[in-house]
Amino acid sequence: MPAVTVLLPVFNGAEFIQESVDSILAQTLPDMELLVIDDGSHDDTRDILARIDHPRFRTLLLAENGGAANALNQGWQQSDSDFVALMDADDIALPQRLEKQLQLMKSRPRVAACGAQMRMFGSHYNRVILPQQDGAIKANLLAAVSNIANPTALIRRRTLDKLGVRWDPAMQGIFDWAFWCELMLHKAELANHPDELLRYRIHPQQQSRDQRPLRPLFMQTRLKLMAQLFPRLSEEQHRTAEPLLQWVNPPGMSIAALQTGLTVLEQLLGQPASALGESRAARDALILRCITRWQEALERAG
């Protein structure tokens, strides 16, 4: 069996799938395979996949579209490599991505999964700099920003199987963040490689970027984290502060709710570090940014 299996779920990805596949098959790591899981595509994706002839390439064709989380779970069951990498159907992996990440994982046997730095391209261009250390990654998971980018991940199979963690289709469009939060709740160690190893494509056809309909799922997952991170505060206090920790597309709130939430956020500062492994300093820095953000919003509101 190969050392690494790359799982690449795709649904109606004909426009970019060939470029994505080519970037994986061009990896400098020879001991790998690519498993593309077609999630019920009805465009030209399957025709494109059928024309690819490569000894390290195979496909899993699903009859119906069940979402990326289900596709990844199906792909996991069809692979037996010691390490599993994730890839999106519209992104481009740099040639040394897998080789460099595998070196990191082998040199740090306690790490359950590692991501990498990446650069956005397409409708806009910028480098995404993600924290390298476990504690900072976990602190940022609280706000669902700057943690691990899903299409850069390399996962240690043994750890995931031992913990029993998988991708939850019920989490819909935030299944990836919920997956990393679940690993955090299981005290798994996370890391990001310091090098830029992926080009992340921005384009109009991407699945929904409006996360507001997913607010109940964000709240459900974040409250699980908060119960472990801030056990000295009550569940009611957690619920009061939780919306203010939603960095992207935060919910609308009244001035009174903002003021009450800010009071609780200030109480989160200086709380002891939990057993989950987050950096207390990074966690407090994140909370301070949230406090500043909402204080400025109140000032603008008059």
Q: What is the pLDDT of residues 39-68, one digit of tens each?
A: 999 999 999 999 999 999 999 999 999 999
- Whether the predicted pLDDT of 207 surpasses 60: no
Burial status of residue 287 (CB atoms within 10 A of its CB: 0-12, 13-18, 19 or more): buried
Decide if 86 contacts 7 (C-beta within 8 A).
Answer: yes
State both tokens at 267.
């109480």
Least confident of 4-13, 64-73, 197-206, 242-251: 197-206
- Residue ranges of alpha helices (H) inside the chain are 17-25, 45-50, 68-77, 97-107, 134-141, 157-163, 175-185, 215-229, 235-241, 255-268, 280-301
- Whether the predicted pLDDT of 201 surpasses 90: yes
Decide if 92 contacts 20 (C-beta within 8 A).
Answer: yes
Q: What is the pLDDT of residues 122-181, one digit of tens each?
A: 867 788 899 999 999 999 999 999 999 999 999 999 999 999 999 999 999 999 999 999
| Phi, psi angles (nearest 5°) of residue 37 | -105, 105
Q: Which pLDDT does position 212 carry in this prediction?
A: 77
DSSP symbols for 53-102: --TTEEEEEESS---HHHHHHHHHHT---SEEEE--TT-EE-TTHHHHHH
Q: Which pLDDT does position 204 carry in this prediction?
A: 72
Q: Which pLDDT does position 301 carry in this prediction?
A: 84
Distances (CA, A) of 131 to 43, 148, 233, 266: 38, 8, 28, 24
Q: What is the pLDDT of residues 251-291, one digit of tens each?
A: 999 999 999 999 999 999 999 999 999 999 999 999 999 99
Q: What is the pLDDT of residues 216-253, one digit of tens each?
A: 999 999 999 999 999 999 999 999 999 999 999 899 99
Task: Tell me the average pLDDT across 107-111.
Answer: 98
Note the pTM of the prediction, 2 decimals. 0.96
Q: Which pLDDT does position 208 carry in this prediction?
A: 45
Q: Which pLDDT does position 29 carry in this prediction?
A: 98
Residue 99 CB partners (closer than 8 Å, separation 6+): 27, 28, 29
- Whether the predicted pLDDT of 295 surpasses 80: yes
- Whether the predicted pLDDT of 23 surpasses 60: yes
Q: Which pLDDT does position 152 carry in this prediction?
A: 99
Q: Which pLDDT does position 104 carry in this prediction?
A: 99
Q: Which pLDDT does position 156 carry in this prediction?
A: 99
- Of 13, 71, 12, 5, nearest to 37 (Cα)? 71
- Of 21, 51, 16, nearest to 36 (Cα)? 21
- Of 214, 6, 215, 192, nearest to 108 (Cα)? 192
Q: Which pLDDT does position 210 carry in this prediction?
A: 67
Higher pLDDT, 122 or 16: 16
